[in-house]
Amino acid sequence: MEKLPDYEVLGKFYLGREYDLAKRELGSRRIDYDARDLTTHALCVGMTGSGKTGLCISLLEEAAIDGIPAICIDPKGDLGNLLLTFPHLKPSDFLPYLEQGEATKQGLTIEELATQTAERWEKGLASWEQNGARIQRLRDAVDMQIYTPGSSIGTPLTALKSFDAPPQEVLDDDDAFREMVSSAASGILALLGIDADPLSSREHILLATIFDRAWRSGRDLDLAELIRSIQTPGIDRIGVLDLESFMPGDQRAKLANTLNNLLASPSFAGWLQGEPLDIQRLLYTPSGKPRISILSISHLNDAERMFFVTLLLSEFVGWMRSQPGTSSLRAILYMDEIFGYFPPTAKPPSKTPMMTLLKQARAFGIGIVLATQNPADIDYKGLANMGTWFLGRLQTQRDKDRVLDGLEGAANSQGQSFSRAEMSQTLSALGNRVFLMNNVHDDAPTIFQTRWALSFLRGPLSKPQIQGLMKERKSEGAAQRQTFPEDRPASPPKAPSSPIGKRPILPPEIPEKFWIPDRAASHEARTIYRPTLIAQASLHFVKASPAIDHWMDAHWLVDCSEGTPEPVWDRAVEWNSPLRLSPSPDDGFLFGDVSADLINPKKYKEWEKQLADFLLRHKPLMIYQSKALKKSSLPGQDEEDARIEMAMQAREARDAEVEKLQAKYATKLKSLQSRILTAEHRVQREREQAKTQQNQSLINLGASIFGALLGNKIASKSNLGKASSAARSLGRAQAQKNDVVRAEESLEELLREQHRIEEECRQEVDQIASRFSPENLKLESIEIPMRKSDLRIQLLGLLWVPYQVDSLGIARPLVDWES
């Protein structure tokens, strides 16, 4: 197995080396950052040219190598540099990202500049004990994607499918639910350019009421449904006022038209396509591999940026609350420039969810990392609980004063002492790529110079460069991406060939339901109901080992517009989301013809028996078990979600074992270091004694030689004594030298023992890392059949599904359903 460098330690981020400000010299001590410290969040501040972007990219690189996923909000376009990783460091790798103007300025061809750049990067990496092999480890550890909401430059991402009802954990938390409702309303109004106060704006209160009612009933919303709900909210009162008194119909229509005009605008079409805004998918690939998702928003205007960031943060809060707590670092949310989104006085829509994350994310193992070059325009009261501050060169005294205010507040909140004068003096002396790290988990601040980044830091990427980087990735993921329901490119089903007319009369024994449309039909289209067989059942799964006792409710739908299939349940579509059903039809709908079987009560009794057999044979509960972790997935989790959760549990187990192992070796090393220190003192003492004895020997020898030169008899007797003394002194000097050699040998033996113990510890850590590596995590699938005796069929009847049919006879469902 490849021997990794000393800095490649699990849970440690290699950031750089200690720097002596007084001497302006780079020291030898490596600066490692404990990954768990990031759960108390970090702020990076520095002016343009301070090296702030390089430090933050290095931090993300270290997290990626350790398998920690990240979502990175990129307002400036710099973070795409994370994809510029070239393990072979060939000039041709760098060439597409260099500017002809820069080559001309230096009197070079573009190819010569590429060669120089490749050589410079290779030497820079080597000076920090890095190479192409480490770049390859980075590339192998994570998937990287550049998402461009509202645009197809990178991977398209639609935020307009994110009005789904939040998870149950958020619904059960009143404060969290209110925040999510408020953020959704604020985000929409920000997109429309409406500056709305949540307490006084009628538009905000109306939208919040619509979101509240829909989500509490488990109903998702899209823009079309939201527009219709604004016009006809389906409520009589808001507060104590009737609806018309609170907000008259013409004003609601105006708000709906404004939103509809935005939806209909060709320039807005980019927002309606792409992958849905799903936090889990932004953090992990479908196979469970960690992902670095770069959300590039530099192409958006201010209103669109605020809308997107607000919805993203709100979605992140909802996802976070659905996760179990952990002390390990689970994921990172990084924003490259927080200016404007977290101001000291104003309250933009993004501020509330960001404040929630800063206060609560630690318990869920989420690290929030924020960066800015405008420290005077950030709410430092909100950032007072930041655990780590990375401070680079600052531009103005005002910036420095605000940073000192924030540091002092953070120190006071942690109960630590703080010297404003000393910190001010230190900040004034910082240079390029030199940062002060103030970490509440450390005893004192640290001055360090950042290491050389693995990624090629070429600055903001152009649109063609992003397109080139993402072209291959987009083609690979095209089959998995979804588009907005109105714009699905797939060929819709043809209208049924059976007659269309009036509602058929069913026997009273057959339940009849009507699926409430999710969106309005176009004006020129006809609206019809198509017949579908619906079953709703509760299934019970029981197994002693693993201990499973789980009830599951679901619907099964069978399209019967072209007749009833046989066997009927083989064509069934399982539906686990809530269904919005009504006992009566909407006005203006025609009805498709139904087969004789669908109006025969005896057939429903047959289908009920067949359903029980079908569910027993085809609908077992799948559980995924890890023998290494002695853990099982939760009922209802698919393999992907189970693997992602197990990977997090593996990280926790890994961290716990590593911490236990390091504690065991720390005791040995502490004792050994004490002996080494004693040995070092002995070597120093012996060397000093040897030097003193050698000097004395030289003096005695010199005296005897000088006496011999005098040549008188009296002196000759004395000279004999001095010569004898000089000889004895030389003997003692030699003995002292031997003592020095023995002391040095003892010290070297202790140092070898220290190295052996450290290497033994590293090997055991590597074994732990390999054992708990997500790549080595084996999941065993266990099928648990339904307990047939406990099956409860709660509904078996006829469901009418709403469709619109255009002039060409093409039918499109008015709900998100494809048979």
- Does residue 746 register a pLDDT over 90? no
Alpha carbon 149 to its chain centroid, in Å, reads: 17
CA distances from 473 to 318, 434, 469, 480, 618 (A): 28, 36, 8, 12, 35
CA distances from 101 to 96, 116, 121, 715 (A): 13, 15, 20, 88
Alpha-carbon span 351 to 184, nearest angstrom = 13
Q: What are phi and psi of 572, to 5 degrees?
A: -70, 140
Three-state DSSP string of 569-633: HHHCEEECCCCCEECCCCCCCEEECCCHHHHCHHHHHHHHHHHHHHHHHHCCEEEEEECCCCEEC
Instruction: Indicate the range of 430-444, 632-646, 698-712, 762-776 predicted with least confidence.
Output: 698-712
Contact 76, 403 (CB under 8 A): no
Alpha-carbon span 600 to 568, nearest angstrom = 14
Three-state DSSP string of 21-79: CCCCEEEEEEEEEEHHHHHHCEEEECCCCCCHHHHHHHHHHHHHHCCCCEEEEECCCCH
For CA atoms 222, 223, 226, 228, give the dihedral sign: negative
Concatenated DSSP letters of 312-349: HHHHHHHHHHTSPP-SS--EEEEES--TTTS-SS---T
Alpha-carbon span 213 to 223, nearest angstrom = 16
Contact 392, 430 (CB under 8 A): yes
Alpha-carbon span 204 to 526, nearest angstrom = 34
pLDDT class of 444 with cuts at 50, 70, 90:
confident
- Does residue 134 register a pLDDT over 70? yes
Cα angle, residue 214 at apex, residues 212 and 217 outer, rounded to 5°: 105
Alpha-carbon span 123 to 95, nearest angstrom = 18
Strand order in the sheet with 631-632: 631-632, 621-626, 780-784
Alpha-carbon span 573 to 642, nearest angstrom = 23
Looking at residue 493, its pLDDT comes to 40
Return the closest-CA partner of residue 581 out of 529, 521, 636, 538.
529
What pairs with residue 26 in β-bridges? 19
* Position with higher pLDDT, 489 vs 112: 112
Average pLDDT over the chain, rounded to whole?
85
Contact 272, 484 (CB under 8 A): yes
Helices (H), 192-330: 202-216, 223-231, 243-246, 249-264, 279-283, 302-321
Alpha-carbon span 192 to 302, nearest angstrom = 11
Amino acid occupying residue 226:
L
- Does residue 6 register a pLDDT over 90? no
Q: Token digits for 494?
A: 């043809």
Mean pLDDT of 439-464: 93
Question: Which range scores top for mean pLDDT: 254-268, 601-615, 694-708?
Answer: 601-615
Alpha-carbon span 262 to 264, nearest angstrom = 5
Alpha-carbon span 632 to 625, nearest angstrom = 4
Q: Reduce the DSSP state of residue 663 to 3 states and report it.
A: helix
Contact 620, 542 (CB under 8 A): no
Looking at residue 800, its pLDDT comes to 95
Whole-model pTM: value is 0.74
pLDDT class of 485 with cuts at 50, 70, 90:
very low
Contact 535, 555 (CB under 8 A): yes
pLDDT class of 495 with cuts at 50, 70, 90:
very low
pLDDT class of 406 with cuts at 50, 70, 90:
confident
Looking at residue 473, its pLDDT comes to 66
pLDDT class of 13 with cuts at 50, 70, 90:
very high
Query: Using N-to-C axis directions, what is the helix angle for 52-65 and 132-141, rounded to 10°?
Result: 70
CA distances from 317 to 328, 379, 510 (A): 18, 20, 44
Return the closest-CA partner of residue 779 out of 69, 141, 287, 322.
287
For CA atoms 652, 657, 658, 660, give the dihedral sign: positive
Looking at residue 720, its pLDDT comes to 53
Instruction: Indicate the range of 188-197, 731-740, 783-792 predicted with least confidence.
Output: 731-740
Q: Token digits for 327?
A: 């002390």
Helices (H), 81-201: 91-94, 100-105, 110-126, 132-141, 168-171, 174-191
Instruction: Indicate the range of 81-95, 172-186, 483-497 predicted with least confidence.
Output: 483-497
Amino acid occupying residue 218:
G
Looking at residue 484, its pLDDT comes to 34
Alpha-carbon span 586 to 582, nearest angstrom = 9
Amino acid occupying residue 378:
I
Rg (CA), the chain: 36
Alpha-carbon span 6 to 762, nearest angstrom = 9
**Residue length, the chain?**
819
Looking at residue 121, its pLDDT comes to 96
What pairs with residue 512 in β-bridges? 798
pLDDT in tens, 638-687: 888 888 888 888 888 888 888 888 888 888 888 888 888 888 888 788 77
Alpha-carbon span 459 to 19, nearest angstrom = 26
